[in-house]
Amino acid sequence: MFFRQALLASTAVWSLSVALPTTDTNVPHSLSPRDDTQCGAGTTFYACYLNHFRGCCSVDPCALEAGCPDNPANNNHHHYSYSTENTQISCPASGTQVFQPQMELIFPTEPAASPFPTPDLNLSRSATTQWDQLMTFTLPTEARHCTLGWTIPARRNFTAGSNALVRVLENVAPGNITRIGAADFSYWPQTPGPHEALVGTMDCKEQLQFHLTLEHRDAVYMAQDAQTGWWVRYTC
């Protein structure tokens, strides 16, 4: 409980530091992340690991399988669920590009800490702390010729330091980690217009998992959606 509260506090501080609009003057201020941590009287904001609930609740919902009991119909709106059991994924003959992978924060400097789900790219490294991420894509069995990359549109919520080089490792199997390449996010938030970058290619499989870590002391944040962030492109 102490770690969860501490993480929420540190995440809130980090969000304030990264929720800056780009230098493009045409980008509206509404692109800053929505502040969903403002709760009404008698409720508190929670972000739970076990049931992935995120929102305001009158009781601690983190030990409840169904999430917050206040408004069960709202639970699906407030939590990130990454279950892929029994999910049928089609593979069009023309191939496709998949955005919005499952993202989890992991903490190399806190080995006892549990992974923490988040929809966005959020990496940090300092002299005393380090936030890495696991990134998982779920693909159809027919997928072939996989390529990993990232995309930013002209309007985005994206910030990075001047030394934001991210090493990308594929978790091929337990004990088998392969370096795919690197993504250099340095200075891109200040560069106007859209941009696409290729990181590397790999054999396709139903679940591709990558470990993202900053090479140097820096930080990078990118709000991801259906057109922004990491993607895997494949053919069938």
Q: Which of 48-52, 54-58, 95-99, 149-153 has the lowest mean pLDDT?
A: 48-52
For residue 177, tell me if it sits in a domain.
Answer: yes
- Condensed to tens digits (0 to 9), the pLDDT of residues 127-140 reads 999 999 999 999 99
Instruction: Assess if residue 187 is contained within a domain.
Output: yes
Say yes or no: 122 and 74 in one domain: no
Q: Is the pLDDT of residue 150 over 70?
A: yes
Same domain, 65 and 116: no
Domain-embedded: residue 89: no
Which pair of structure tokens corresponds to residue 120?
A: 């966005």
CATH code assigned at 183: 2.60.120
Average pLDDT, the chain: 78
The answer, as to whether pTM is greater than 0.85, is: no
What is the span of the domain harbouring residue 6?
A: 2-78
Residues 201 and 100 in one domain: yes
Largest CA distance in the chain: 53
